Chains A and B, each alone.
Chain A
């Protein structure tokens, strides 16, 4: 029921208000005495060099793709789990097949070194 989510909506509003008020209060009460050294990005006391927004390792991309794959597949388990009793052996065999295909992909990624972090 959409109306069930009304309190959630109110909650989002109140939490946002809380965060905004906290930040505004802090901006009002806190001092503001910037100087170039204070504003420069922290690099262990050395003068910063280059841009911080640089390219990062492909490993992170791989992890993200694996996450998307697995997360989407895993979500399919939930409807099945809820209706487990009604679906019976038919559901179990169907989910077994699904799991098998998932496992084949998992084994493939493992053997190909997709989970190695080096």
Chain B
């Protein structure tokens, strides 16, 4: 008996492999690094992420699949890989000083971030439900630990535990959905599911499976009936972790979400488009309305991230090439903007004391004009003011919706954006028009955090003023 070895095209998963290797190296280096030099491990991780980004660019434009069609490197996946690597790199820049200020200066932080990145990359490039599930677990488990990384802080522990319990719950839904889909079609490969569906369009098992799959994805990207964990976890987790979590998980989970529904289930599009449209409306509206009521910046940003998930969902409802590229562009813009916003919170915190309440931001513009200005720009971009990245992203998504006949959805999206402007403007008003709050006047802004903020700012403005290259990159589409 001889066994045939499947086509192991290791080149295709090179970005994930490089990040995983970096994680292992950092893990071993952690053992021999003395306590004051732990930040060099973060630098090591950054170098690994850069090399992985280089490998991703090297794969660009030549779609290929590997491991018997379980993983692909198409432009859709590679674009998301770049977004994830960018988000991870910026969040490590934010964390280098943050972990020291919060006295959790351990090399494991970077290891966990890197492992989560491996999971995210695989999730964005996987074309098999089992691999998607494995990647989902690989990205979730480190994040559960990261959310509870500040061990001495009860709120951080609560966040970690809450995230873990609900995440495990949603994973079960997801896996159950995969089981149903496998039962209905006899395969877990997305393309083969589509083929099986084309032959036999009435498939009740598959319908149940798709529903459960939707619930699993909805948990991960925080769509409305399944969003309850988001504010508590985003609020309780260390801010640098929240920043990473809010962008990385969204990019990866939406990547798999889009791929699963657009590649495997287009035959059911008539059914799920309506469901997803309803979810999008609910998500946007509830996210924005709840954000209006928050007095805590991190909770506000959490609800805002829920609302943004709703906007991205519009792109999925729109389907087609324009929907896909607009979603990718939006994820890129959202990654830069959101990391910038959380970065500003980190930049203006005093050791372990953070400006969590909006009233703490009073008069910040007078004390730290540059950081305040950047924070204001990120807020405006989240709200969707031209000429910033957020505006371009929203414009692309809404026009994709209008193109494909979902104008009413676009209208609701625009109305929601108007509502959201109110709460995004509140901290800006506070910063520029209130008296300084006493006790916040001797803060040393860490240079690396400032660097991350400037990088994000350049990205946000560049994407707003000259979005064409990014849009062109985002139109690569799937390898089917």
Contacts and interface: CB of A to CB of B under 8 A. Distances in A.
Direct contact of A and B (CB under 8 A): yes
A72 B5 CA distance: 24
Given A107-B31, A108-B31, A111-B31, A87 B24 contact: no
B472 interface: no
Interface string A83-118: 100110010000000000100100110011000000
Main secondary structure of the interface of A (DSSP, over half): helix
Contacts of B425: none
Interface in A20-52: none
A83 B3 contact: yes
Contacts of A86: 1-3
A104 B27 contact: yes
Of listed A83, A101, A104, A112, residue having the most chain B CB within 10 A: A104
A90 B5 contact: yes
A101 B20 CA distance: 10
A108 B3 contact: no
A89 to B, nearest CB: 11
Nearest to B23: A104
A84 to B, nearest CB: 11
B433 interface: no
Contacts of B31: 107-108, 111-112
Nearest to B111: A108
A49 B76 CA distance: 66
Contacts of B24: 101, 104
Contacts of A87: 3
B437 interface: no
Which 9 A-B residue pairs are closest in the complex by CB-CB distance?
A111-B31, A86-B3, A104-B24, A108-B27, A90-B5, A86-B1, A86-B2, A104-B28, A104-B27
A54 to B, nearest CB: 22
Interface residue tally of chain B, by bracket? under 10
B249 to A, nearest CB: 24
Contacts of B27: 104, 108
B109 to A, nearest CB: 15
Interface of A: 83, 86-87, 90, 101, 104, 107-108, 111-112
A108 B5 CA distance: 32
Contacts of B3: 83, 86-87
A104 B28 CA distance: 7
A25 to B, nearest CB: 45
Contacts of A111: 31
A76 to B, nearest CB: 14
B371 to A, nearest CB: 38
B439 to A, nearest CB: 39
A108 B2 contact: no
A86 B2 CA distance: 6
Nearest to B3: A86
B28 A108 contact: yes
Given A101-B24, A104-B27, A108-B28, 9 more contacts: A83-B3, A86-B2, A86-B3, A90-B5, A104-B24, A104-B28, A107-B31, A108-B27, A108-B30
B106 to A, nearest CB: 10
9 contacts: A83-B3, A86-B3, A87-B3, A101-B24, A104-B28, A107-B31, A108-B30, A111-B31, A112-B31
A37 B1 CA distance: 69
A37 B2 CA distance: 70
Contacts of B1: 86
Contacts of A101: 24
Contacts of A104: 24, 27-28
Interface in B24-75: 24, 27-28, 30-31
A116 to B, nearest CB: 15
Interface in B218-260: none
